[in-house]
Amino acid sequence: MRRPGRTSPVAPAVTGLAVAAALAAAGLWTDDRPAAGLPAGQPGTVGAAAGAKVMAPGIRPDAPALAGADLDGRRVALGDFRGQVVVLNAWGSRCAPCRAEADDLERLSRQTRADGVRFLGINTRDPDRAAARSFVRAHGLTFPSFHDPDGDLLLRFPPSLVDPHAIPSVLVIDRRGRVAAALGGAVTDEQLRPLLTRLLAEEP
């Protein structure tokens, strides 16, 4: 499997519509079916980021086990957040759309933490941690990020969920460790919040 090169230019971010289309072709996206465990009449999907939807619980793929060092060399693991909704954000310090979404992500992280949401980054394309740490300081990010300069962690996800050559991207993972939504391109508070609200309303 070909890995993203260290010096290749940042590829244009895929749109949420393209991700949704790929998932629809694979039969992964729901339509208007209510999700199991939700009250009658509650919508089974939430539109966000140009058409991204929440997958029905029965067809959500398990997220791969991710573990490694963060930007300060401390160990971090996705499994440590089991039981909480996780927003997994892939970003790079030289990526303009990543800069555009960073403040919204940090604000939403602070506002939803008490509700049971955790944010976790995957920093990619930055061989030097110093550039990534400078990005974190500039945007006041308080959530940890894996240091994944070669995209090894991103390659553990199916390409229908995340394109390791295109950043930024967001995966929303439910309390049971399953990928519930995939969004390509920069996201906003208004696009991401409804997905989190939907997942927090599900039975643990």
**Mean pLDDT per 10-residue segment, the chain (204 residues):** 38 34 33 30 35 87 97 97 97 96 98 98 96 98 97 94 91 97 94 95 88
62 strand-pairing partners: 178
- 111 with 81: CB under 8 angstroms? no
Residue 141 has what pLDDT?
98
87 falls within a domain:
yes
C-alpha closest to that of 64 among 153, 184, 189:
153
Residue 43 has what pLDDT?
32
List Cα–Cα distances, 99 to 117, 121, 139, in angstroms.
22, 13, 8
Residue 87 has what pLDDT?
98
Range of the domain at 111: 16-33+40-158+167-200
CATH number for the domain harbouring residue 142 = 3.40.30.10
151 falls within a domain:
yes
127 falls within a domain:
yes
3 falls within a domain:
no
Residue 36 has what pLDDT?
31
Residue 95 has what pLDDT?
96
Q: What are phi and psi of 178, to 5 degrees?
A: -110, 145
Residue 170 has what pLDDT?
96
101 falls within a domain:
yes
Structural domain total, the chain: 1
6 falls within a domain:
no
Residue 51 has what pLDDT?
56
Residue 22 has what pLDDT?
37
Q: How many CA atoms lie within 13 A of 104 on its CB side?
A: 16
71 falls within a domain:
yes
7 falls within a domain:
no
3, 126, 72, 99 alpha-carbon torsion, rounded to 10°: -120
